[in-house]
Structure 1
Amino acid sequence: MAESHVDLGFIEKTEPSKLTCQQFPSKVGGKPAWLSLSPLPSPNQLQCSKCSAECIFLLQVYAPVEEDENAFHRTVFVFLCKNPDCHQPNSQDPFVVVRSQLPRDNDFYSSEPPTPMTPAPTKGDKLCVVCGISGPKCCAKCHSRSYCSKEHQTIDWKTGHKKNCSESCEDMTTDSSQILFPEYELQIEEEELEKEEEKSEAEKKDELRSFLDSDKANSLLPDCSPGDLEKMSNQSTDKVFLKFRKRLEHAPDQVLRYERGGNPLLVSGENKPDDIPKCTCGAERQYEFQVMPQLLSHLGVDRMEASIDWGTLCVYTCSKNCYHGNQYQQEFLWRQDYSNQV
């Protein structure tokens, strides 16, 4: 991914074989395709800071840095808590972001480019059979199934392991469809913009009101409630939101925007990401990519009683790209919701 322009991510169904760790994918949902295979982040490191439940893998972006020999391979992972009660407006609590990077010569992968026939690495920590994160626990009876928590062990037991528990059940598949998000490949393309004539402020305000009253608003902002749209329409001076929705019109299906060292496309002039904590190494963090609200319609998170939503999720990573060998480094996510526009 180049750093001098914006790259867009679009989801696409593909063969699972393209989304394994040795293929270095960018992907949404399913289990994480870890980069460094040991040591993995512990289950405690991937807990929701609100309810302490295990966060579920949301997406990963493969983003090597050409000028950094220690980032020949580099992937940023985003996890989230699936409990809607933890998703308070503009709260970062239910999200966890970690970064992994490796030099070309490393402990897990060949220095040669992968092919469809490249075998999976044989090294690595044991993985939870339900969610794919580190699985330090195991079945006390067969010792061949690993888990991140008692909760996921119970899920595996109820969905088939109880009937098939034996020393030879290691490769038995687990139905994780109620736990994991649907799996997609993230296809990355450069953003292309058409030049437009600059409009007056009055024209922009009228255009914003018309847009928010139209059916098109619901298609571009699928998880924004009618009440929020009505309030946005009254907030006619919100130039930030106007810029956001105009930029989306060029590629309405985008679910991710990538511009390391650039600036995010915000949904509101309020709750801006102005207070980003430094990396633990002491360096400033910089914006790298953002997750767009269009992704929500593909995740199956809508519920009658409660649902998960966001305006945009902005991920910030170490500007120095600090290297910690095979260790994962925690990074930072800033969440901005529509509700603070009103």
Structure 2
Amino acid sequence: MAAPTALLGLCDAELDSKRHRSSCLTNKLGGAPDWPPHASRTPPRCGRCGAPLAHVVQVYCPLQGSPYHRNLHLFACTSAACSGRSDTWTALRSQSLEERTPSRPDPPQEAPLAATDWCDTADDWGVEEGGGGGGGGGGVKEEEEGGASGEFDVSSQLQDLRLLDSQDDVPVLREFFISVVEESDLCGEEDDLHHARKLLKEYERREGVAVGELEDGDGGGDGGKEKYEKTRARHGDAVFSRFMKKISLCPQQILRYSHGGKPLFISEPPADLDRLVTACGSCGGTRTFELQLMPALVSLLRGKDGGGVEAELEFGTVLVYTCRDSCWTAGSGSGSGSPVEEFCFVQTDPDQQLFK
């Protein structure tokens, strides 16, 4: 069976609440979470210090063949003392039946394209009429399917968001759309680079000169080797080297999504990781890897209206494991219920210690 395709999340334009309206169908970072209709709006708290957590990432990720819309919301503590710890992150999974999902209003023409492609069912996602494109998220049904009840749900959501913002001074990060690209689409760039290197070697052989060596300035033959050895000594880790090589095609990726795929570790994982990834707290079943946050995201985590939140949120990668069966118990008559907490595993950036 072929390995799942990795999908890369990239930071898109800033989400201006005066011009754009997000919903649970939107992929975004920061801001307040857009919960599915009827889901609990209670903000999670830090497992270490008890402070309310900042909303970091929202991903709309329905599974193929499932009747549910599905969201993952990731939250983190912004306290410096809690930085880089797994127990200060929370991942919540919410689901709602398709007919219960609110229709999204038409965004302005200038809204950026941020279409969601997280799942195999992405090809079936509709495009809003008059929206001029994705407008910050992929829709599953045509606009008219939401109806009047959808408009009511949207209004209810906005009220809930205002209530959330007023509770306990919840830290709010700047809000950006997340756009998506398939990692396999970047392989062409890697082929072009390989071809360029081949041409360079042919030129060096024909002209009798080593171009790479001349970059050191003195023409010495050991300059490149010395640089390589310094880099290797600094990191000293084959896992880190593999991580850097893997993301080199798209260093700006802030999120990697590969439901049921393999995580990309930034440092050697603990030998007992399988034991550390606990069973689903809802059904007791096993969990599988679904997504991870990447180092490029750290510099984007800034407090809204100039708040200095970014200094306290540091990590190398945050890996999220979710219930393999995506279990869900719908609320009575609502098609939705309380979010299910999933498992987060945080690895720090090996280079962070160089600046401590």
**TM-score, scaled to structure 1:** 0.67
Q: CA deviation at 1:212?
A: 9.2
Report whether the alignment pairs 1:99 with 2:93. Answer: yes
Deviation at 1:283, TM superposition (A): 1.2
* Rg larger in structure: 2
Structure-2 residue corresponding to 1:122: 152
- Whether contact under 8 Å (2:41, 2:160) holds in the other structure is no
C-alpha distance in structure 1 between counterparts of 2:29 and 2:12, whole Å:
9
Q: Report the 3-state secondary structure (helix = DSSP H, G, I; strand = E; otherwise coil) of the residue aligned with 2:243.
A: helix
- Residue 291 of structure 1: CA displacement? 0.3
> Partner of 1:122: helix, strand, or coil?
helix
Task: Give the AA of the match of 1:21.
Answer: S
- Output the amino acid matched with 1:148: Q
Q: 1:209–1:233: 8 Å Cα contact kept in structure 2?
A: no
Q: Which residue of 2 aligns with 1:229?
A: none
Q: 1:268 to 1:305 in 2, by over 3 A?
A: closer
1:310 to 310, 315, 327: 315
Q: Work out the percentage of aligned pairs sharing the same amino acid.
A: 26
User: Closer, same or farther in 2 for the Cα pair 1:48/1:103, shift >3 Å?
Assistant: same
C-alpha contact 1:208 1:242 (8 A) present in aligned 2? no
Q: In 2, Cα distance between the equivalents of 1:31 and 1:208?
A: 49
* CA 1:104–1:270: 2 relative to 1, 3 Å: closer
Matched to 1:6, the amino acid is A
TM-aligned CA deviation for residue 329 of structure 1: 1.1
Contact 1:50–1:94 (CA<8 Å) still a contact in 2? yes
Contact 1:269 1:341 in 2 (8 A): no
CA spacing shift, 1:212–1:7, aligned 2, 3 Å: farther
CA distance in 1, matches of 2:65, 2:310: 49
User: Does the 8 Å contact 1:271/1:336 carry over to 2?
Assistant: no
User: Using a 3 Å threshold, how does the CA distance of structure 1 residues 235 and 80 change in structure 2: closer, same or farther?
Assistant: closer
| Secondary structure in 2 matching 1:68 | coil
Query: Does the Cα contact within 8 Å between 2:15 and 2:176 map onto a contact in 1?
Result: no
5+ residue gaps in structure 2?
A: 105-124, 132-142, 196-222, 331-335
Q: Does residue 27 of structure 1 match 2:32? A: no
Q: Show the counterpart of 1:276.
A: 277
Unaligned runs of 5+ in 1: 133-146, 153-178, 198-205, 215-231
Shift of 1:299: 1.5
TM-score computed with the length of structure 2 as normaliser: 0.65
Q: Which structure has the highest helix share of the two?
A: 2
Hey, what does 2:51 align to over in structure 1? Answer: 53
SS in 2 for 1:105: helix
**Number of positions where the alignment pairs a residue of Structure 1 with one of Structure 2:** 266
Which region of structure 1 is more displaced relative to structure 2, 180-189 or 109-118? Answer: 109-118
What are the equivalent positions in structure 2 for 1:4-83 lying under 5 Å apart?
Answer: 4-14=4-14, 16=16, 18-21=20-23, 24-34=25-35, 36-43=36-43, 46-69=44-67, 71=68, 73-83=69-79
Distance in 2 (CA, whole Å) between partners of 1:340 and 1:255 is 18
Residue type at the aligned position of 2:241 = L
> Once the 2 structures are TM-superposed, how far is the Cα of residue 25 of structure 1 from its aligned partner?
0.7
State whether residues 173 and 309 of structure 2, in contact with CA within 8 Å, keep that contact through their aligned partners in structure 1.
Answer: no
Alpha-carbon distance in structure 2 between the residues aligned to 1:213 and 1:30:
41
CA RMSD of aligned residues (A): 3.6
What CA deviation, in whole Å up to 9, does each residue of 1:30-82 have, x standing for no partner? 12122x23231423xx011111111111111111112112x2x1110001111
Correspondence for 1:257: 256
Cα 1:290–1:211 shift into 2, 3 Å: farther
Whether the 8 Å CA contact 1:98–1:330 is kept in 2: the answer is: yes
Instruction: Please say which of residues 123-132 and 184-193 is displaced more in the overlay.
Output: 123-132
Q: 1:100 to 1:3 in 2, by over 3 A?
A: farther
- Read off the aligned partner of 1:58 and give its amino acid letter: V
